Amino acid sequence: MTEIAIKNVFKEYNRNPILERVNVTLPDHEFCLILGSSGAGKSTLLRMLLSQETPSRGEILIDGEPIDVEPQADRGVVFQRYSVFPHKTVLDNVLAGPSFRESRFFGRLFGNRKAKLRDRAMELLDQVGLSDAADKYPVQLSGGMQQRLAIAQALIMEPKVLLLDEPFGALDQSTKKSMHKLILDLWNANKMTIVMVTHDIQEAFTLGTRVLMVDKQRRDPQAPEAYGSTIVHDLRLDPARKAPLDPSDNEENQSMEDIFLKWAGRMDHAIVEGAPHPTTPEAASVSAKEVA
Ligand X SMILES: Nc1ncnc2c1ncn2[C@@H]1O[C@H](COP(=O)(O)OP(=O)(O)OP(=O)(O)O)[C@@H](O)[C@H]1O
Residues forming the site for ligand X (CB under 6 A): 13, 18, 36, 38-44
Cα–Cα distance between 14 and 19 in angstroms, integer? Answer: 13
Nearest residue (CB) to ligand X, 40 versus 261? 40
Nearest residue (CB) to ligand X, 14 versus 112? 14
Nearest residue (CB) to ligand X, 160 versus 233? 233
Least spacing, CB of residue 110 vs ligand X, in Å: 41
Cα atoms in the 13 Å half-sphere on the side-chain side of 254: 15
Least spacing, CB of residue 164 vs ligand X, in Å: 13
β pairing state of 75-78 and 161-165: parallel
- Nearest CA-CA partner of 283 in 217, 211, 214, 213: 217
Q: How many angstroms separate the first and last alpha carbons of the chain?
A: 32
Least spacing, CB of residue 43 vs ligand X, in Å: 3
Nearest residue (CB) to ligand X, 35 versus 124? 35
Least spacing, CB of residue 34 vs ligand X, in Å: 8
Nearest residue (CB) to ligand X, 193 versus 198? 198
Least spacing, CB of residue 234 vs ligand X, in Å: 17
Cα–Cα distance between 64 and 70 in angstroms, integer? Answer: 17
Residue 68 gets which letter from DSSP?
P
β pairing state of 16-26 and 4-13: antiparallel
Cα–Cα distance between 68 and 50 in angstroms, integer? Answer: 9
Please check whether residue 249 is in contact with residue 262, taking contact to mean a CB–CB distance below 8 angstroms: yes
In sequence order, the 6+-apart residues with CB closer than 8 A to the CB of 235 are 208, 210, 211, 212, 213, 260, 264, 267, 270, 271, 272, 273
Nearest residue (CB) to ligand X, 40 versus 231? 40
Least spacing, CB of residue 255 vs ligand X, in Å: 15
Nearest residue (CB) to ligand X, 36 versus 76? 36
Least spacing, CB of residue 161 vs ligand X, in Å: 18
